[in-house]
């Protein structure tokens, strides 16, 4: 059961990444939030991947409360954007060469921004491409002499893509980050810090992107708690 395997400490997540790089071991890392759990509950391919191949950390207020209240876990809440920032800062500090797949950034923009921030970027590919292009993109990425990839796409597309990429030769550390790249490079605005701290960032996002996110939150949150209760009842039988 996925809720039994999620990482609940930021230090554990960071050490998982750094140890995998140091030991030249493969790693598929992603996060679990309310939206992800709903997809996990309905998408068989995504569920199998997370259950069998991924290291996962809890990454929003909904999953945090579910683990704490319904499953009595003693945990700290992890903010996915902050977690990815910590990981990227360590990669920068170690001058680790990496590939970024995600967003839809202009080539000059991504070159200038990564250079300014000290990122040792060896290649960039947009995260917006047709499914028919997947194999050719993975073939090109597999030729690059680096083992660390940051993949920011939609769920479950990014996990499916990362899994295919991981099957090419050589150990790879692949970190799925969702829309973190847009926040990091400043092309999309995050909620004010006090809203983040009280766990209401979803409301800010809903207000700023209602057309895209109304279903994820207005329908998705009740569905999430239904799915959590369903798991709880199944475990109680």
The whole-number pLDDT of residue 224 equals 94
Residue in 77, 52, 83, 69 with CA at minimum distance from that of residue 177: 83
Check which CATH number belongs to the domain holding 203 and give it. 3.40.50.10660
In this prediction, what percent of the chain has a pLDDT beyond 90?
70
pTM over 0.85: yes
Residue 74 neighbours by CB distance under 10 Å: 7
Q: What is the mean pLDDT of residues 93-101?
A: 97
Q: What is the mean pLDDT of residues 152-178?
A: 95
Q: What angle do CA 126, 80, 90 make, to 5 degrees?
A: 80
3-state secondary structure of 223: helix
The whole-number pLDDT of residue 169 equals 85
Q: What is the mean pLDDT of residues 3-11?
A: 91
Range of the domain at 206: 2-236
Number of folded domains that form the chain: 1
Exposure string over 144-180, b if 16+ CB within 10 A, otherwise e? eebbbbbbbbebbbbbbbbbebbeeeeebbbbbbbbb
Residue in 230, 156, 218 with CA at minimum distance from that of residue 3: 230
Q: What is the mean pLDDT of residues 21-45?
A: 96
The whole-number pLDDT of residue 128 equals 92
């Amino acid at each position: 059961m996925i809720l039994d395997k999620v990482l609940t400490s930021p230090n554990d997540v960071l050490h998982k990444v750094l140890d995998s790089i140091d030991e030249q071991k493969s790693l598929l890392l992603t996060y679990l939030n309310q939206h992800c759990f709903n997809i996990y509950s309905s998408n068989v391919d995504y569920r199998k991947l997370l259950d069998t191949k991924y290291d996962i950390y809890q990454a929003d207020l909904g999953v945090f409360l579910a683990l704490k209240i319904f499953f009595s876990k003693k945990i700290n809440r992890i903010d996915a954007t902050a977690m990815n920032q910590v990981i990227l800062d360590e990669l920068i500090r170690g001058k680790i060469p990496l590939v970024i797949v995600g967003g839809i950034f202009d080539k000059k923009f991504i070159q200038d921004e990564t250079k300014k921030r000290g990122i040792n970027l060896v290649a960039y590919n947009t995260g917006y491409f047709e499914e028919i292009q997947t194999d050719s993109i993975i073939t090109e990425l597999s030729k690059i002499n680096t083992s660390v990839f940051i993949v920011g796409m939609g769920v479950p597309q990014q996990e499916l893509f990362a899994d295919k990429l991981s099957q090419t030769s050589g150990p790879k550390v692949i970190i799925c980050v969702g829309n973190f790249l847009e926040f990091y490079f400043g092309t999309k605005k995050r909620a004010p810090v006090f809203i983040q701290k009280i766990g209401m960032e979803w409301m800010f996002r809903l207000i700023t992107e209602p057309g895209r996110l109304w279903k994820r939150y207005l329908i998705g949150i009740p569905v999430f708690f239904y799915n959590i209760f369903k798991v709880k009842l199944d475990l109680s039988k």
